[in-house]
Amino acid sequence: WLKPRTRAHTHPFSDRSSQKMAKAMKVAMKKATAMKKKAVVKASGAAAAIITKKKVPVPKGLGKIRIGIIHGKVFDPVKVGTHDRNYPDKLKIKNNTGRSASGWGGQYMADVSTGLKIARLQPDIFEIDFMRMDDVSPKRLAKNHLTFNFWGDMSIAIADGKIPLAKTIIEVQKDCYNTRHIPEWNYYEWVLHKSRYMKQCIKAGIPMIPTIFVDNGFNAKAVLKQIQASGWDKFLVKPAYLAFFGQGVIHGKTQDFVDNLEPFLQYERDNTKQKEFLVQPYVLKPNGNVFDEIRNFFVDGEWKYSIYTDGTDYEGFYEQPAGALKEACKQLAIRT
C-alpha cells in the first residue's frame, strides 16, 4: 500500500516519501525476523536447560524462603543410620546416654533432622535457621518467613526451671500472626489441656476411657469416694494440664488407699499448683505392658497414613499394616 500505482495516484505520502517509507519498513521487517529467530533459539536453549538441570536457582532479588526450626528437646530421636550425614556437631545431643543422661535416644533428634531434610531436598528454595530455645525472640523470628517449634517450647522451659525463658516463648507464640510462629497459641493451649479436648471428643461421640474430670484442685477424700463409686479395682491419677512423661502421676489399688489415705493426702499437698486432673481406671494389655498407639497423619485435611508406636520400645515404630485395625483407627481419626 505504500507503493503508488501511477503518478496520478493521490496517496497521502509523496512518491519519494513512499519509497523511503517502504525501504524503512523492509529494513524493520528484516530486523524483526532476525530478532524472532534469535529469540526462538534462546527460548529453545532455555527450555533444554530447564529440562536437563535438576536445580533451578531462585530468581535474583527474590531470595530463599527462610524457615526457622526451634529445637532443644532431648527425647525424640531418629534411628542411628537414618540421620543426615552432615548433621552439625554443634546440634548433636552429647549427654544423652547412661544414668546421667539429660534425655534418651542418642545424639540425633527429630527436630533438627526435619530442618536438615528440608534443606537437603530443596537447597535452592529453603534456608534453615536453627535456633535453640534460648535464642527465641521476636527479633529473631522476624527474620524468617515461618518458624516451626518442634517442642522447644514453654513446657520444656518450665520443666528445665527456666521460667523467664518460658514467658518469652509464650509471648512470641501469642503474637504468632506477627512472629509467624507455628503452632499458634490457641491451638497449642488446646492441646495442652487434656480435659478440654477429651470433653469435646466425648461430646462428639468419640469413644473414650471412663474418666473422672477434676477441674478445681485435687481433694483426696472426694476423689477416692468417686473412684469407689465407679467400682474400679485399680486407678490412675494424672494432671490434665501441662504434664508429660509420668509427671504428677499416682496409681494403685483402690482398697490400698481406702486402708491408708495418707499417700493420697500427700499427693494432694504435692500438687496444690495444679487445678485440673484426670482420674481413670488403671488398664494394661493382657501381657502386662502399657497400651500402644496408632497415630494417624493428615495432610491438607486428608488422611494419609498411620504409624504404630509401641508403648514401651522407643524404637518400636513403623507404618501400621493394612487390615481391619488400621481401617478402624483411620475412620475413628477422621471422625475426630
pLDDT, tens digit, 9 for 90 and up, residues 172-219: 999 999 999 999 999 999 999 999 999 999 999 999 999 999 999 999
Q: How many CB atoms within 10 Å of residue 133?
A: 22
| Mean pLDDT computed over every residue of the chain | 83
What pLDDT, on a 0 to 100 scale, did the predictor assign at position 151?
85
Q: Is the bond preceding residue 183 a cis peptide, omega within 30 degrees?
A: yes
Question: pTM surpassing 0.85?
Answer: no
Strand runs labelled E in the chain: 65-71, 126-132, 146-149, 181-182, 212-214, 234-239, 250-253, 277-281, 293-299, 302-309, 317-319
pLDDT in tens, 276-329: 999 999 999 888 888 899 999 999 999 999 999 998 887 788 999 999 999 999
More confident residue, 254 or 1: 254
Dist. CA 204–CA 335, nearest whole Å: 9
Whether 30 has a pLDDT exceeding 60, the answer reads: no
Of 76, 116, 117, which Cα lies nearest the Cα of 96?
Answer: 76
pLDDT for 13 beyond 70: no
* Pairwise CA distance, residues 181 & 170, whole Å: 11
Q: Cα–Cα distance between 192 and 238 in angstroms, integer?
A: 13
Distances (CA, A) of 27 to 3, 12, 55, 92: 16, 22, 42, 69
d(CA 41, CA 47): 10
pLDDT of residue 10: 37
Residue-wise pLDDT tens digits, 108-119: 899 999 999 999
Supply φ then ψ for residue 181, to 5 degrees.
-90, 130
Quick one: pLDDT band at residue 123, thresholds 50, 70, 90?
very high
Question: Contact at 8 Å (CB) between 34 and 97?
Answer: no
Return the axis-axis angle of helices 163-174 and 185-192, rounded to nearest 10°. 130
Q: What percent of the chain has pLDDT over 70?
A: 80
pLDDT of residue 49 exceeding 70, the answer is: no
Q: Are 230 and 269 in contact (CB under 8 A)?
A: no
215, 190, 208, 199: which is closest to 277 by C-alpha? 215
The predicted structure's pLDDT at residue 258:
97
